[in-house]
C-alpha cells in the first residue's frame, strides 16, 4: 500500500490505516533502538567506567529530538509531548541497562556471557520519572 498524505485521506478508514501503518513503523524503530541499548550496557560493562545514567547524554538526546520536532513544524505543545515521550522511553531503557549491569556484576559475568542474561522484571516506571 502506498502511503497517503493526510489531505489525501477521504475517510476515517484511510486515516486509521495510515495511523496503523505509522504505528507499525514506530514499533519497529523502537525495537531497533532497543538493540543498540542492549549493546550499550554490554559495552559499558566491558569498559567499567560508565553507568546506565549519563546525564549529559540524556539531555543531549532530549534537546536533539525537541529541535527535530520543532523543525517539523509541530506546535509547542506537541514538541513538549515529544520530549515527554522521549523521557519516558529513556527511563525504561535506563532501567533496563541498570538491571542488566547490576545482574552482570552480581553474577560475575564477563561481557562474553552478558548477552545471555534475561530481561529484568522490575518497576521501570520509577526509573522513567528519575530521568526528568
pLDDT at 3 over 80: yes
Domain that holds residue 58: 9-130
- Domain with residue 112: its CATH number is 1.20.59.10
Give residue-wise pLDDT tens across range 48-101.
Answer: 878 889 999 999 999 999 999 999 999 999 999 999 999 999 999 999 999 999
| Residue 3 within a domain | no
Report the pLDDT value the prediction gives residue 115, as an integer from 0 to 100: 45
Give residue-wise pLDDT tens across range 29-58.
Answer: 999 999 999 999 999 999 887 888 999 999
| Residue 89 within a domain | yes
| Residue 2 within a domain | no
| Residue 41 within a domain | yes
Phi and psi at residue 11, to the nearest 5°: -150, 165
- How far is 19 from 127, CA to CA, in rounded Å? 29
Give me the number of domains the chain comprises.
1
Report the pLDDT value the prediction gives residue 109, as an integer from 0 to 100: 63
| Residue 16 within a domain | yes
Mean pLDDT for 17-34 is 98
Amino acid at each position: 500500500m502506498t502511503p497517503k498524505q493526510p489531505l489525501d485521506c477521504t475517510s476515517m478508514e484511510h486515516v486509521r490505516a495510515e495511523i496503523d501503518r505509522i504505528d507499525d513503523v514506530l514499533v519497529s524503530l523502537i525495537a531497533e533502538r532497543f538493540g543498540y541499548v542492549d549493546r550499550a550496557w554490554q559495552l559499558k560493562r566491558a569498559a567499567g567506567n560508565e553507568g546506565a545514567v549519563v546525564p549529559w547524554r540524556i539531555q543531549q538526546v532530549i534537546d536533539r529530538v525537541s529541535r527535530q520536532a520543532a523543525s517539523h513544524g509541530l506546535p509547542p505543545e506537541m514538541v513538549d509531548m515529544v520530549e515527554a515521550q522521549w523521557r519516558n522511553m529513556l527511563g525504561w531503557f535506563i532501567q533496563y541497562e541498570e538491571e542488566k549491569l547490576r545482574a552482570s556484576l552480581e553474577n560475575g559475568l564477563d561481557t562474553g556471557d552478558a548477552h545471555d542474561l534475561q530481561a529484568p522484571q522490575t518497576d521501570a516506571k520509577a526509573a522513567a520519572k528519575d530521568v526528568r
